[in-house]
Amino acid sequence: RMALPNARVLIHQPSLGGVIQGQFSDLEIQAAEIERMRTLMEPTLARHTGKDPAVIRKDTDRDKILTAAAAKEYGIIDTVLEYR
């Protein structure tokens, strides 16, 4: 897991893309799918970063943009490449 020095890494809650609209029952289905995706994503990120799943949930409630160095410190990447 690597990034170039000027890269930025974004972590955020799962999304289904686009504007979510429709009947209330459709919105409930889409909300349930987002929650299902979170229950898969959070433990995976926790395992790979060494962070508590509650920290992952808090950090992904809103967009979190990390520099390459910050992503390494967070545990998302292992190396910041200094050259290609």
Q: Would you state the pLDDT for residue 13?
A: 85
Domains identified in the chain, total number: 1
Task: Encode burial over 43-63: b for 16+ CB neighbours within 10 A, e otherwise.
Answer: eebbeebebebeebeebbeee
**Would you say residue 20 has pLDDT above 80?**
no
φ, ψ (nearest 5 deg) of residue 52: -70, 140
Residue 84 is predicted with a pLDDT of: 65
- 16 has a pLDDT exceeding 80: no
User: Given a cut of 70, is residue 26 above it in pLDDT?
Assistant: yes
N residues, the chain: 84
Q: Does position 19 have pLDDT exceeding 90, yes or no?
A: no
Radius of gyration of the chain (CA): 15
Query: Domain of 13?
Result: 2-80
Half-sphere exposure of 30 (CA within 13 A, CB side): 13
CATH code, 62: 3.90.226.10
